[in-house]
Amino acid sequence: MSQKIKSTTVIAVQHNDMIAIGADGQATMGNTVAKSHVKKIRKLQDGKIITGFAGSTADAFTLLERFEEKLSSFGGNMKRSAIELAKDWRMDRYLRRLEAMIILANKEGILILSGTGDVLEPDHGIAAIGSGSMYAQSAALALKKNATNLTAEEMVRESLTIAADICIYTNHNFVIESIQ
């Protein structure tokens, strides 16, 4: 992950036939909080796909628009659309300069999409991006391993809480969405 992509935490957890994605609501400009209630989670295709983004908001919206176009072109196939977007992102002169990362999820699974051409299916059904990603991912791994009575949504909330307690670029204003 590029050092430039920071200032948020987004995490997705797949657990017991549910996938949840959550993000904090903080937007920063340098070391200043610009806004504390930003919505970094979006539902696509009538809620069949949930996305979360980290990095430049305008860049992420540009990528999400392109992703929706790919979904239309490939009959809603999330994985194929993500691969095609990653190809474009890496090859196109304009897209190559965009600084964002995206987590995509549908009932089949989770993908991480980056500008380096990566389309990753994360291990253990957990994906995290942003400055607080390693804190949230570590917490989610521990929760999934040891607190199996929790739902995916509860694991996301607790993981984000831990990240927000540690990462100065992450706040406690969470948006969490899930797919059964």
Give the tens place of pLDDT for each residue, 114-153: 877 789 999 899 999 999 999 999 999 999 999 779 999 9
- 152 is a domain residue: yes
Query: What per-residue confidence (pLDDT) applies to 178?
Result: 95
- 6 is a domain residue: no
Per-residue pLDDT at 1 exceeds 80: no
Per-residue pLDDT at 157 exceeds 70: yes
- 4 is a domain residue: no
- 1 is a domain residue: no
Structural domain containing residue 25: 11-179
Query: What per-residue confidence (pLDDT) applies to 95?
Result: 66
Q: Rounded to an integer, what distance in angstroms lies between the CA atom of residue 95 and that of residue 106?
A: 24
- 88 is a domain residue: yes
Look at residues 172, 20, 143 and name the one whose alpha carbon lies nearest to residue 11: 20
Q: How many domains, in total, are found in the chain?
A: 1
Q: What is the model's pTM?
A: 0.90
Per-residue pLDDT reduced to its tens digit, 40-58: 999 999 999 999 998 877 7
Q: Give 55's strand partners.
A: 100
CATH number for the domain spanning 51: value is 3.60.20.10
Q: Tell me which residue has tokens 């607190």.
A: 147
Query: What per-residue confidence (pLDDT) applies to 63?
Result: 84
Confidence band, pLDDT 50/70/90 cuts, at residue 62: confident
Active site residues: 8
Per-residue pLDDT reduced to its tens digit, 12-28: 999 999 999 999 998 88
Q: Are 176 and 156 in contact (CB under 8 A)?
A: yes
Query: What per-residue confidence (pLDDT) applies to 75?
Result: 93
Per-residue pLDDT at 93 exceeds 80: no
Query: What per-residue confidence (pLDDT) applies to 3?
Result: 40
